[in-house]
Amino acid sequence: MTGTEGGAPEILVRFDQVFKSFRTSRGRRQVALDGFSMSVPTGAVVGLLGPNGSGKTTALKALLGLARPDRGTITAFGRELPADQRFVARRMGALIEGPAFTGSLTGEHNLRLLGELHGARRDEVADVLELVGLDGAAHRSYSGYSLGMKQRLGVAAALISRPDLLVLDEPMNGLDPEAVRHMRELLKRLRDERGMTVVVSSHILSEVELVSDWVTIVRNGRVICDASVPELLARGTSRLVVRVHDAVTARSVLTDHGYTAVPAFGPAGAELQVEPPATRPTPSDGSDVLRLLTERDVYPRELVVESASLEDIYVAAVRAADAATATARQEPRHGT
């Protein structure tokens, strides 16, 4: 990521309070973006995450000039959209809805035709095919490509204009684990070797977790979490798991000292999920728990401090957002 002097990342794209709704065929108003705000740091791979229908595609379309926001501002490369869409479009490559290629032509031929529109030379076409790992299959016809290869050719098409920003909508949809891994490695190469900024949407956290520097979680058209991965992980609290033979005694020792100890049955037998008292100034590293237990002759078989994963944080963010929405829905009723 490109930093500024103060250490804060430089922002390449910013959505600020963007609203967008559609009229459905039944005449109903369908809100797709409901005050959507997000920032994309320069040089980062940003994972745009959210369940189906949460507004990811609409947000990306708004950035690409394919959907016009009702309200709010989007800036990219220091220019405001849609006023400067053409300036921005020249610096962006995108794979947003299945790429349209000719089945009877080879991958290379398809890409060459597209490259001509962008003034790409033959060696540049070959370079992009190599980059996406299709150099070995360049002369096979597109109709014989696997789904993973088709997606890679779609990314190649997005790269042919040599963009600084690459926008990919669900590029891993339907891919097998090997193809997902390949796509992740490609995104890392684009960031590390070409200095590209990448926005990649997905409804599956594990698909983008290993490659994203920054994660934006969207729910019901609103961003509920927008932060760097290290910052997110630091926000998550770790969990202490104690595996003991005598869970009853261990639990009573810990609760006597104000700890919460929830019995569970894990893969290694009985265990307690322990949380220190709310009054404890620092998170527990486990030594306090070990001391309390051994003082009472309870010797744990195992004591593990499990760090929160991005998945835990994702689930917590979604639950918190749902709870806030439910509260907000109840409030007007109290007033009436």
Ligand X SMILES: Nc1ncnc2c1ncn2[C@@H]1O[C@H](COP(=O)(O)OP(=O)(O)OP(=O)(O)O)[C@@H](O)[C@H]1O
Closest approach, Cβ 56 to ligand X, in A, equals 4
Choice between 169 and 271, CB closer to ligand X? 169
Contact 33, 60 (CB under 8 A): no
CB atoms within 10 A of CB 274: 24
Alpha carbons within 13 angstroms on the beta-carbon side of residue 300 total 25
Choice between 57 and 284, CB closer to ligand X? 57
Closest approach, Cβ 125 to ligand X, in A, equals 30
Choice between 56 and 184, CB closer to ligand X? 56
Closest approach, Cβ 31 to ligand X, in A, equals 7
Q: State how far the Cα of 237 lies from the Cα of 56, in Å rounded to an integer.
A: 28
CB atoms within 10 A of CB 182: 18
Closest CA to 194 of 93, 107, 118: 93
* Amino acid identity for residue 275 in this structure: E
Choice between 29 and 333, CB closer to ligand X? 29
| Cβ partners under 8 Å of residue 121, min gap 6 | 115
Closest approach, Cβ 184 to ligand X, in A, equals 19
* Amino acid identity for residue 300 in this structure: P
Choice between 66 and 323, CB closer to ligand X? 66
Q: State how far the Cα of 254 lies from the Cα of 283, in Å rounded to an integer.
A: 15
Contact 165, 76 (CB under 8 A): yes
Q: State how far the Cα of 49 lies from the Cα of 121, in Å rounded to an integer.
A: 36
| Cβ partners under 8 Å of residue 275, min gap 6 | 239, 240, 259, 260, 261
Q: State how far the Cα of 168 lies from the Cα of 159, in Å rounded to an integer.
A: 11
Closest approach, Cβ 50 to ligand X, in A, equals 5
Closest approach, Cβ 108 to ligand X, in A, equals 30
Choice between 57 and 106, CB closer to ligand X? 57
How far is the CA of 150 from the CAs of 94, 105, 227, 228, in angstroms? Answer: 15, 13, 32, 31
Closest approach, Cβ 33 to ligand X, in A, equals 8
Choice between 55 and 107, CB closer to ligand X? 55
Choice between 94 and 137, CB closer to ligand X? 94
Closest approach, Cβ 70 to ligand X, in A, equals 13
Question: Between vectors from CA 234 to CA 265 and to CA 290, what angle results, nearest 5°?
Answer: 45
Q: What are phi and psi of 303, to 5 degrees?
A: -135, 120
Give me the residues that bind ligand X (CB under 6 A), please.
22, 24, 30, 32, 50, 52-58, 203
